């Protein structure tokens, strides 16, 4: 609840205004049965029709005032909920964008997605409801009791006995609701994960005719969530019928006792009618409080999940100084005996003792089997993760001492499975960097994309579908490459980003990079020897370890694995 209160506090003036309107409207609503009792017991016996009409108009006026005040109060509550959740979602998105790789992995994309959507909706729903029902319900409950005590303390005593019992029931059940709704939201995470996997892998699912298998997997997860939701719903809805039973019993006692008091001449018949109306109002108040506690349980569980992300500490602080000294200060990039494991376990290292140097103007190719640690090296270079042991240097400085924006502004990167946004090709290349049309065009020529764009009627204004569904694999990869080179980066990284290109286009791309980016340090992860054989240095990895480093000729002579890869792809060495 602390998180919800924090975001509501910024709108306290609006909330105070809405509460005032709601309170005034509820008080006016409490007056309607009292006016009715007065008409029946005081006005009707006078047989003055004008007076009856006058008091009747008073009831209508009170009802109109109640409606007007409630409409304005509810509108205000919706506006506050909208503004609160907009700020909350922005803060959550902002925090997520800056999560380190390890923190992001610990939460998982499906869980983060459900926290941004269903969890934030639960919080929004509670913020709106607590301003509407959260004010009216207690006013109806307490106000109804107070008015009935004024009208007839004896009958009101019946209500006073019922209310503590009902309150205890609500409190007991609501305490059990929070863990139950937490479980529901965890099941939502699982459903989001399965849906995401199927959406991304729909071609594989169809190609292998596994639609029924995936439908059954989704159905199991859906049933688990449904069962958890039903259990939470049943538990939280239990107070409703119990309270209604108690209140109906109380209502029966009111009618019996009230009838005896009317016969005895102690009270007037209108009091009984007013009591029944107030009893209904009190019932609405109790049921409203029950709904509020149900929403609060759900919102508290969701708020706790959101707060877990917002409160996560940055495990990659920028260091003012590094306790290490770069072994080669004149080099552009240095990996100094680097060890790293994604779960930080010494027994499960992803890479071990990686040690190499790239001098200014040089290039590096990285090759190895799947899972050998190629992408991990790039992740450490850009500081998506921090190495467990050893150090990574750029221009003689430990990457941990760079401001993250400054560090990552040095890179242009193209990944094999990068993202095409639902935007124009020009904006996909520029990517918010305010590049000129000439710069975008130059990047497209370097990436061998210009011929495709020139053949389009709308050129760079051509809209790409979501995830580039209207582009071929090669067109998407050339767009990735154009985006990477567009801002003339200091370090250019290609992570298997030319795998969908034919050999001719790949060769032309490499030639254009050598011509247009002579002073840029190029790092290329590739499966094809032809893509990296002309680079200055080549790093060969196997099971996270360096088994070869040097130029193409040196590796053919000294690294059996590299020689084997070359011969399998290019033919025997003459």
Sign of CA dihedral 208, 213, 214, 217: negative
Residue 323 has pLDDT above 60, yes or no: yes
3-state secondary structure of 367: strand
Which pLDDT does position 546 carry in this prediction?
92
Is residue 199 over pLDDT 70? no
Q: Considering Cα of 217, then 220, then 221, then 223, what sign does the dihedral take? A: positive
pLDDT tens digits, 543-563? 889 999 999 999 998 999 999
pLDDT category, 334, cuts 50, 70, 90? very high
Confidence of residue 398 (pLDDT cuts 50, 70, 90): very high
User: Is pLDDT above 80 for 143?
Assistant: yes
Mean pLDDT along residues 48-55: 85
For residue 323, the SS3 value is coil
DSSP 40: I
Let me know: does 480 contact 414? Beta carbons within 8 Å.
yes
Q: Please, what CATH class does the domain formed by 319-410+539-574 belong to?
A: alpha beta
Q: Which of 195-209, 335-349, 496-510 has the lowest mean pLDDT?
A: 195-209
pLDDT at 345 over 60: no
Q: Which of 369, 336, 386 lies closest to 526, judged by CA? A: 369
Q: Determine the pLDDT at residue 321.
A: 81
Q: Are 316 and 386 in contact (CB under 8 A)?
A: yes
Candidate from 93-107, 163-177, 238-252, 348-362 with smallest mean pLDDT: 163-177
Q: Are strands 333-340 and 389-394 parallel, antiparallel or unpaired?
A: antiparallel
CATH of 2-184+237-310, one of 3.90.1150.200, 1.20.1560.10, 3.40.50.10860, 3.30.420.10: 1.20.1560.10
Q: How far apart are the first and last CA of the chain?
A: 74
Q: Are strands 411-415 and 491-495 parallel, antiparallel or unpaired?
A: parallel
Q: Taking all residues of the chain, what is their mean pLDDT, rounded to a whole number?
A: 83
How confident is the model at residue 87, as a pLDDT? 92
Please list, in sequence order, all residues whose beta carbon lies within 8 angstroms of the beta carbon of residue 545, skipping any fewer than 6 positions away: 351, 352, 353
Q: What is the pLDDT of residue 358?
A: 92
* C-alpha distance from residue 15 to each of 123, 130, 141, 230, 297 (Å): 16, 10, 21, 33, 21
User: Quick check: 539 pLDDT over 80?
Assistant: yes
CB 353 within 8 A of CB 337: yes
Which sign, positive or negative, has the C-alpha torsion 280, 283, 289, 291? negative
Q: Would you state the pLDDT for residue 377?
A: 92
Strand order in the sheet with 411-415: 397-398, 389-394, 333-340, 351-358, 545-550, 537-542, 363-368, 521-525, 491-495, 411-415
Q: Where in the chain is the domain with CATH 1.20.1560.10?
A: 2-184+237-310
Mean pLDDT of the 507-520 span: 80
- Indicate whether 573 pLDDT > 70: no
pLDDT (0 to 100) of residue 500 = 65
Comparison of pLDDT for 437 and 572, the residue scoring more: 437
Structure tokens at 196: 């995401």
What would the mean pLDDT of 381-386 be, rounded to a whole number? 90
Pinpoint the residues of the chain covered by CATH 3.40.50.300.
319-410+539-574
pLDDT digits (tens, 9 = 90+) for 94-142: 988 888 888 888 888 778 888 888 888 888 888 888 888 888 888 888 8
Q: What percent of the chain has pLDDT over 90?
A: 15
pLDDT band at 240 (very low <50, low <70, confident <90, very high): low
């Amino acid at each position: 609840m602390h998180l919800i209160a924090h975001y509501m506090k910024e709108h306290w003036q609006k909330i105070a205004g809405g509460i005032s309107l709601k309170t005034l409207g509820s008080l006016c609503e409490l007056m309607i049965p009292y006016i009715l009792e007065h008409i029946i017991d005081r006005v009707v016996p006078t047989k003055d029709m004008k007076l009856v009409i006058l008091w009747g108009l008073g009831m209508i006026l009170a009802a109109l005032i109640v409606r007007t005040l409630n409409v304005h109060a509810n509108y205000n509550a919706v506006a506050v909920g909208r503004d609160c959740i907009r700020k909350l979602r922005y803060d959550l998105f902002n925090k997520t964008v800056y999560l380190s790789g390890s923190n992001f992995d610990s939460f998982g994309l499906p869980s983060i997605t459900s926290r941004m959507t269903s969890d934030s909706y639960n919080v929004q729903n509670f913020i709106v409801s607590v301003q509407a029902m959260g004010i009216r319900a207690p006013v109806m409950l307490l106000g109804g009791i107070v008015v009935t005590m004024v009208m007839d303390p004896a009958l009101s005593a019946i209500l006073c006995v019922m209310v503590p019992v009902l309150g205890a029931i609500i409190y007991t059940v609501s305490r059990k609701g929070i863990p139950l709704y937490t479980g529901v939201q965890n099941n939502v995470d699982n459903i989001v994960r399965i849906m995401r996997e199927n959406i991304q892998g729909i071609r594989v699912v169809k190609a292998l005719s596994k639609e029924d298998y995936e439908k059954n997997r989704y159905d199991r997860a859906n049933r688990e969530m449904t069962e958890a939701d039903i259990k939470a719903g049943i538990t939280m809805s239990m107070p409703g019928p119990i309270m209604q039973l108690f209140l109906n019993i109380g209502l029966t006692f009111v009618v019996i006792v009230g009838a005896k008091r009317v016969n005895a001449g102690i009270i007037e018949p209108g009091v009984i009618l007013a009591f029944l109306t107030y009893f209904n109002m009190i019932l609405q108040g109790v049921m409203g409080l029950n709904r509020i506690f149900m929403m609060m349980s759900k919102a508290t569980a969701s708020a706790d999940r959101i707060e877990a992300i917002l409160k996560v500490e940055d495990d990659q602080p920028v260091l003012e100084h590094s306790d290490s000294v770069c072994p080669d200060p004149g080099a552009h990039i240095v990996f100094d005996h680097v060890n790293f494991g994604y779960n930080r376990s010494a027994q499960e290292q992803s890479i071990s003792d990686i040690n190499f140097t790239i001098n200014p103007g040089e290039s590096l190719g990285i090759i190895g089997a799947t899972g050998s640690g190629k992408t991990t090296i790039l992740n450490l270079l850009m500081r998506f993760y921090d190495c467990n042991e050893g150090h990574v240097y750029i221009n003689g400085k430990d990457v941990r001492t760079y401001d993250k924006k400054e560090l990552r502004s040095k890179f242009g990167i193209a990944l094999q499975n990068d993202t095409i946004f639902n935007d124009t090709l020009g904006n996909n290349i520029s990517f918010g960097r305010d590049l000129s049309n000439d710069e975008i065009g130059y990047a497209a020529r370097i990436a061998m994309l210009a011929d495709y764009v020139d053949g389009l009627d709308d050129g760079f204004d051509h809209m790409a579908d979501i995830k580039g569904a209207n582009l071929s694999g090669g067109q998407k990869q050339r767009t990735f490459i154009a985006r990477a080179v567009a801002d003339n980066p200091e370090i250019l990284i290609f992570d298997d980003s030319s795998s969908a290109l034919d050999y001719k286009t790949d060769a032309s791309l490499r030639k254009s990079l050598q011509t247009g980016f002579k002073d840029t340090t190029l790092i290329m992860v590739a499966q094809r020897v032809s893509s990296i054989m002309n680079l200055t240095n080549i790093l060969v990895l196997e099971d996270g370890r360096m088994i070869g480093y040097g130029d193409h000729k040196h590796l053919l002579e000294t690294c059996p694995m590299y020689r084997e890869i070359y011969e399998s792809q290019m033919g025997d060495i003459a």
